[in-house]
Amino acid sequence: MQKTQVYIQDDFWEDYSELIRNTVIPYQWEALNDRIEGAEPSYAIRNFRIAAGLEEGGFGGWIFQDSDLYKWLEAVSYSLRDRPDPELERIADEAVDLIGQAQHDNGYLNTYFTIKEPGKQWTNLYEAHELYCAGHLIEAAVAYYQATDKRKLLDISCRFADLIESLFGTEPGQMRAYCGHQEIELALVKLYGVTGEERYLNLSRYFIDERGSKPNYFVEEWERRGRTSIWNRGTPNLEMYQSHLPVREQTVAVGHSVRAVYMYTAMADLARLTGDDSLREACERLWANVTRKQMYITGGIGATHLGEAFTFDYDLPNDTVYAETCASIGLIFWARRMLQLEAKSEYADVMERALYNNVLGSMSRDGKHFFYVNPLEVWPEASRKNPDKFHVKPVRQKWFGCSCCPPNVARLLSSLSDYIYDVSADGATVYVHLYIGSEIGFAAPDGCLVTLHQRSQLPWQGRTEFSVSLANGAGAAGTAFELALRVPDWFQNGRPVLKVNREIQDYRMENGYAKIERTWLEGDTLEWLLPMEAKLIAAHPQIRANAGKAAIQRGPLIYCVEEADNGAPLASLSMAGEPKLSERLVPDLFGGCIVVEGDGLADDSASWPEGQPYQPLNKQTKPVRFKAIPYYLWGNRQPGEMSVWLRC
């Protein structure tokens, strides 16, 4: 792929960039410094200060608390890349200095083991997240270097990576181990990307290749620890950590969903960079399993909070769901790498689905409250009173002690420009994966520097316009390249209309992309029309939770009904067959959004005999008009019931 520069210019998304830049990043910095009133302290900065010898005290927070600072730094990097901010960069530089001060002479860097268990380094790969934290350090370092050209954090992470490379591997004296929480694998690929050092790529491949081999490292290590664990009881749960089988033999997604998709992301990277077909096939198999059989319609993954894990094919309960924000972000990471492996629209479809629904919905409109769990059905009283649903919150939470999700949202949304396009190495083909207003600069095959402007009306309307600017004096001759426009899975009305300079043009379809190759002249315009309409969507018959029900989708947005608009219980509401759906822009709702309405029936509870829990069936319904709002906006009014799936 060609390295390109992309800038987002999009009303919908700039609201989010601004929110990340002006609210989320500053708020999270306050959180990392334990200055948010009423929120659990993070201890992250304090841990680094103690490890650096600048402060006295004990370790606070989770064993992987360091990663919160690293994820914040990564988000800051993307923000600085888009928009320089000397004051923010100064704060970040100080954080980098602090990290450097906490690093050991041999390159080791982890505040938990520095402060709390100095003698226990590398004795609990299964649970202790040392390599996981190293991975987030590396990701932050790569991003900070790319944004600022400053090498300090990169050097810190290279020193740590070099230590790790010396300790882990198949050579005599090395640990044949890998991390209980995959992350460093994908980070090392990035480190290879900026340094060009193949040993980092090889170390990533080693971790992936070694995982799940027999005898199992986690079991051996647990035996050596005297069969003790921090959180887990009994023999290590190998499926939970995706170490039950060598990765190439894994065919269905199991275990902790974030760990899984982080691992699959690295596998896809390695398959691409090393041309490893067996790894590629494993990725494709696992992709098919996750996205066809274990994914919620919102792009959420992970059906149970116990282990925050996948369960099994078609088990997608809406109300006891996990669908962690971080897991959908990991799914987007993975989808991005699958696109780089092969430009197939299904990868971008999933990326778009997870982004506009599960991920966007996780953040409140004030940028200060987050869902970790993203349910498809909520009954607030059950969330308070039924322990099986305690994890399902009807209201977004402030920064958590285990605040994995908010910094992950920040780093994804602040790097969104990386997800829109791919340009082949020679510049011959420009793939447009997402319809987000933006500008990309690239070099066409003839060397002409091209700027492609995209103006999009997504997610509200499906009309997208492109215009071409040419530099280097291409002049009247123009420059030839192919534009590949994704046909989204939500567009199912035949072939979309494509116009160049207002004239309809034919194109060929390949792997879900509409491809048009021509010699482009300065000022050429392209219109790409994907008219949207609200549709009723059904789930696969094996997904028992959704039998007899339908969801509403309009473009990439999944809709839901809320108690605020439809009363309670929402379960009393039925769409009564297949109603005609109407759409309406409501300017004063959440700053303007399109609601979907239709005719439905509500069970008439007034006719129910007083005091009887069960009675002979005597269906009494009354006509109602139901109103659905985009799922990503749910939970921004008074707490109430919410449901994505409605009886029909």
Q: What is the contact surface with its own copies in residues (CB under 8 A)?
A: 288, 291-293, 295, 297, 303-307, 309, 311-312, 315, 317, 320, 379, 381-382, 385-388, 492, 535-545, 547-548, 550-551, 569-572, 574, 578, 603, 605, 608, 611-619, 647-648
Alpha carbons 458 and 510: distance in angstroms, whole number: 23
Decide if 609 contacts 582 (C-beta within 8 A). Answer: no
Cβ atoms of residues 184 and 165 within 8 Å = no
Do 325 and 374 form a contact (C-beta atoms < 8 A)? yes
In a 13 Å sphere around the CA of 510, the CA atoms on its Cβ side amount to 12
Q: Is the peptide bond before 317 cis (omega within 30 degrees of 0)?
A: no
Q: Active-site residues: which are they?
A: 308, 404
Q: Which residues contact 423 (CB under 8 A, 6 or more apart)?
A: 1, 2, 4, 429, 430, 431, 440, 442
**For 100, which DSSP code?**
H
Which H helix or E strand runs over 16?
A: helix 11-19
Using CA atoms, how far residue 552 sits from 123, 157, 561, 643, in Å, is 50, 46, 9, 11
- How many CB atoms lie under 10 A from the CB of residue 187? 27
Region of 198 please: left (phi>0), alpha (psi -120 to 50) or beta: alpha
- Which tokens in the block code for residue 242? 């995706």
13: how many CB neighbours lie within 10 A of its CB?
22
Q: What is the DSSP annotation of 219-232?
A: HHHHHHTTS--SS-
Rounded to 5 degrees, φ, ψ at 89 are: -65, -35
Beta-ladder partners of 138 = none
C-alpha–C-alpha distance, residues 633 and 366, integer Å: 12
- How far is residue 124's CA from residue 307's CA, in Å, rounded to a whole number? 18
3-state secondary structure 444-477: CCCCCEEEEEEEECCCCCCEEEEEEEECCCCHHH
Provide the H-helix boundaries in 197-324: 198-210, 217-224, 257-274, 277-293
Question: Residue 378: which of 326, 325, 329, 323 has the closest Cα?
Answer: 323
| CB 597 within 8 Å of CB 584 | yes
Q: For residue 148, what are the contacts with CB-CB under 8 A and spacing of at least 6? A: 77, 80, 89
Residues 483, 481: Cα–Cα separation, whole Å: 7
Q: How far is CA 446 from the centre of its chain?
A: 36
| Strand 429-432 relative to strand 479-486, pairing | parallel
The angle, 0 to 180 degrees and rounded to 10, between the axes of the packed helices 405-413 and 66-82 is: 20
Antiparallel, parallel or unpaired: β 646-647 and 549-554: antiparallel
Of 203, 197, 180, 343, nearest in space to 258 by CA: 180
Please, what is the end-to-end C-alpha distance for the chain in angstroms?
46
Q: Please state, in angstroms and rounded to a whole number, the distance separating the CA atoms of residues 96 and 619.
A: 66
